[in-house]
Chains A and B, each alone.
Chain A
């Protein structure tokens, strides 16, 4: 199984830990996908230590400046991702996970579908199917 974990802030430790501990199984492959707003993932990854603490293989990739959702979907297709996880950075006054522009674009994109789970710190799109 392959999981893309979108990182839009270096403050997303809880998101990464939730995904690694309760979504992904040991031995799986993770793509940490850095958005252009994040300069460096080094400290975050070092602190979490995914290979030692969670026994997962990981790769760090990034989306270019001015990316659009099609590039993210293309990346998911190329990596044959089974899941895409997106951090919840804020909640509405009624406790709903606030949906940012990127998440909205992915959710409403024609080419991608599957199951949608809202966790404590992450939105998890899983069992992904990609239309041609």
Chain B
């Protein structure tokens, strides 16, 4: 099985949300459930440039029914949305599932949709790419890796969903960089100084952010501290 990452131009509901505000930095489709009549229920995470109300959003998205909207605890201007939209508003997702590919991530950012999906093999990759290109124009393959497991399909990563909004962007950046650079491996592949240098922050700032991440993880697991 191959895990692939590709880019297409922004389309569907991420594109509609990005059109609302030029400061929208990302729109991610977290989950999708089919509903009657060629519609789909979508869970979305959207990072706006400023605060936005549900009424304003509803007004700007006339074809979309907003079922739920909440603001993240930590990150400013990040909202979790539950919406019912036309299936065509999530067409890349439909194309992937219709072609038996497994979608993992669909994120709208910088005028592109970044998509991570699993396909069976090279021929399956071609089928999926051709279908997506027919519908969305050009497709750019970004990366690939071999995998034995299907990983977390879209909406299947419960830990990530639980942690959404519990960590700030800066904390997530520190955590991801430390993880990618091998800080948590035994033995460590990188020192704290090297991570701090990579992120252009001081060692003490790095340490503080990582401790806050650990605190938030513990709070989620064990409840608030007495």
Binding site for B on A (CB under 8 A): 91-99, 103-104, 107-108, 113-118, 123, 125
Contacts of B121 in A (CB 8 A): 115-116
A23 to chain B, nearest CB (A): 14
Question: How many chain B residues touch the partner (CB < 8 A)?
Answer: 21
In the complex, are the beta carbons of A96 and B122 less than 8 A apart? no
Whole-angstrom CA separation of A114 from B130 in the bound complex: 17
Q: Are B146 and A118 in contact (CB under 8 A)?
A: yes
Contact between chains at B145 and A107 (CB < 8 Å): no
| One of A94, A97, A99, A113 near B122 (C-beta < 8 A) | A113
Q: How far is the CB of A119 from chain B (nearest CB, A)?
A: 8
By beta carbon, the residue of chain A nearest B180 is: A93
Complex CA distance for A123 and B146, rounded to whole angstroms: 10
- The contact string, 1 if C-beta is below 8 Å from chain A, for chain B 124-153, is 011001100000000011111110000000
Identify A96's interface contact among B3, B125, B140, B176, CB under 8 A. B3
10 A-B pairs in the complex with CB atoms less than 8 angstroms apart: A94-B116, A95-B145, A96-B3, A97-B145, A99-B142, A99-B144, A107-B126, A116-B2, A116-B125, A118-B2
Known A-B contacts A116-B121, A118-B2; A97 and B143 likewise in contact (beta carbons under 8 Å): yes
**Residue positions of B touching A, CB distance < 8 A:** 2-5, 116, 121-123, 125-126, 129-130, 140-146, 176, 180
What is the CB-to-nearest-CB distance from B1 to chain A, in angstroms, rounded to a whole number?
10
> How many inter-chain contacts with C-beta < 8 Å in the A-B complex?
56
Given contacts A92-B5, A94-B5, A96-B5, contact A114 B143 (CB under 8 A): no
Whether the pair B122, A91 counts as a contact (CB closer than 8 A) is no
Assembly CA distance A115 to B5 (angstroms): 18
Interface centre among A91, A108, A113, A114 (most CB of B within 10 A): A108
Residues of B within 8 A of A92 (CB): 5, 142-143
Least Cβ–Cβ distance between A13 and chain B, in angstroms? 22
A96 & B145 in contact (Cβ 8 Å cutoff): yes
B43 to chain A, nearest CB (A): 22
Contact of A115 among B122, B126, B130, B140 (CB under 8 A): B122
Residue of A at shortest CB range from B176? Answer: A93
